[in-house]
């Protein structure tokens, strides 16, 4: 259960959820919870028949349910009828979180923060202990930077972006609005570029930068390398899970989902609305089209057209890969049959 400092009325819930209110009492709510954990001050949601027992026994004061639910067969309480209960529930949670954030007003700069004199602080900003903000950094309104994070020279952090503890933003990084970067991330470190000169691996200077567009969320311990030249780009609305490596000059399109432990090698491109499942590996200098889905632990070594679903190593069409896997299960029996044929052929030839 998550409790909030502010309460919300039934009428507000109806408006935010975009549903229809069915009420038995006029209540205020200050928490959201699962069906099992909820109490009379909680808002919960129900949309899967697997949870019917928890739904009927729940003590929630308000439950968001599917609009076609038969009200005569369920306990009498406050309900919101919606097309998609979970989506409506998320709208309410987001509203309550935003309302909570607005409780923090003005500038809060912890005394241990080290902020260069060239940095102009906006009217609303929150900077927590041991943060370092270097020369030429631009911080826009409603930015939050949590403890021990470092923002290096000439970087930009857009409105309402949130930098969690122990994040390092290297020089010249551009971060858009409403970006969330979780703990342990390194954004803008040198790409892995070396060239053999006959005697040693000589470092290729990495003099580009990283651009992260609006409404991107980056999970914990992600590394995003700066470009050798030009930009490494994460476009608007993309979401990156924990423990992902994005190499130099990579271009991630809009609304891309990248799951944990994915590795994307240098200068590759991922098209809009694509999904890379856990532990996918992408080799360098390839282009993955729009709305592509790549299954977990797949390895991609060549360009992928729009709309494809790939699976395996090397990654191929998922339907074909499933047939191959099914055939592999039959190999022992096929081998035995083959040896029987060989033995019969040998005997017949005598």
Residues of the chain with CATH 2.160.10.10: 107-277
72-103 residue pLDDT tens: 788 889 999 999 999 999 999 999 988 876 65
Q: CA 186, CA 212: separation in Å to the nearest integer? A: 13
- Reduced to 3 states (helix: H, G, I; strand: E, B; else coil), residue 181 is strand
On the question of pLDDT at 318 being above 90, the answer is no
164-219 residue pLDDT tens: 999 999 999 999 999 999 999 999 999 999 999 999 999 999 999 999 999 999 99
Tokens of 82: 């919606």
Does domain 107-277 match CATH 2.30.30.230? no
Please state whether beta strands 28-32 and 2-9 pair in parallel, antiparallel, or not at all (unpaired): antiparallel
- DSSP string over 136-152: T-EE-TTEEE-TT-EE-
Which among 271, 254, 186 has a CA at the least distance from the CA of 226? 186
Contact 250, 262 (CB under 8 A): no
Average pLDDT across the chain, whole number? 93
Return the percentage of the chain with pLDDT > 90, whole number. 81
230-245 residue pLDDT tens: 999 999 999 999 999 9
- For 266-323, strand residue ranges (E) read 269-270, 275-276, 281-282, 287-288, 293-294, 299-300, 309-311, 316-317
The pLDDT of residue 106: 84
Query: Class of 2-101 per CATH?
Result: alpha beta
The pLDDT of residue 103: 54
CA quadruple 213, 219, 220, 226: dihedral sign: negative
What are the catalytic residues?
248
Which among 20, 26, 28 has a CA at the least distance from the CA of 66? 20
What pTM was estimated for this model as a whole? 0.85
Residues of the chain with CATH 3.40.1390.10: 2-101
The pLDDT of residue 349: 60
């Amino acid at each position: 259960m998550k409790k909030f400092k502010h309460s919300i009325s039934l009428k507000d819930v109806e408006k935010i959820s975009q549903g229809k209110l069915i009420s038995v009492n006029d209540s205020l709510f200050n928490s959201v919870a699962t069906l099992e954990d909820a109490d009379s001050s909680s808002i919960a949601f129900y949309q899967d028949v697997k949870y019917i027992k928890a739904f009927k026994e729940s003590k929630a004061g308000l439950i968001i349910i599917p609009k076609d639910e038969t009200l005569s067969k369920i306990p009498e309480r406050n309900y919101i009828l919606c097309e998609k209960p979970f989506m409506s529930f998320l709208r309410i949670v987001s509203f309550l979180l935003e309302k909570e954030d607005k409780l923090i007003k003005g500038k809060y700069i912890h005394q241990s923060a080290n902020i260069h004199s060239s940095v102009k602080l906006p009217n609303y900003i929150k900077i927590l202990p041991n943060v370092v903000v270097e020369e030429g950094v631009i911080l826009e309104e409603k930015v939050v930077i949590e403890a021990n994070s470092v923002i290096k020279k000439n970087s930009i952090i857009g409105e309402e972006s949130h930098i969690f503890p122990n994040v390092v933003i290297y020089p010249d990084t551009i971060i858009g609005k409403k970006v969330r970067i979780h703990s342990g991330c390194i954004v803008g470190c040198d790409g892995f570029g070396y060239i053999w000169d006959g005697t040693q691996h000589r470092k290729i200077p990495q003099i580009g930068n990283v651009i992260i567009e609006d409404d991107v969320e980056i999970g914990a311990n992600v590394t995003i390398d700066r470009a050798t030249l030009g930009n490494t780009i994460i476009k608007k609305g993309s979401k990156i899970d924990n423990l992902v490596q994005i190499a130099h000059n990579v271009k991630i399109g809009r609304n891309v989902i990248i799951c944990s432990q994915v590795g994307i090698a240098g200068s590759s491109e991922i098209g809009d609305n694509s999904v890379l499942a856990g532990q996918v590996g992408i080799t360098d200098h390839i282009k993955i089209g729009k709305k592509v889905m790549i299954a977990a632990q797949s390895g991609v070594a060549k360009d992928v057209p729009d709309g494809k679903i790939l699976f395996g190593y090397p990654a191929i069409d998922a339907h074909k890969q499933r047939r191959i896997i099914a055939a592999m299960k039959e190999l022992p029996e096929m081998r035995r049959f083959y040896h029987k044929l060989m033995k019969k052929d040998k005997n017949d030839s005598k």
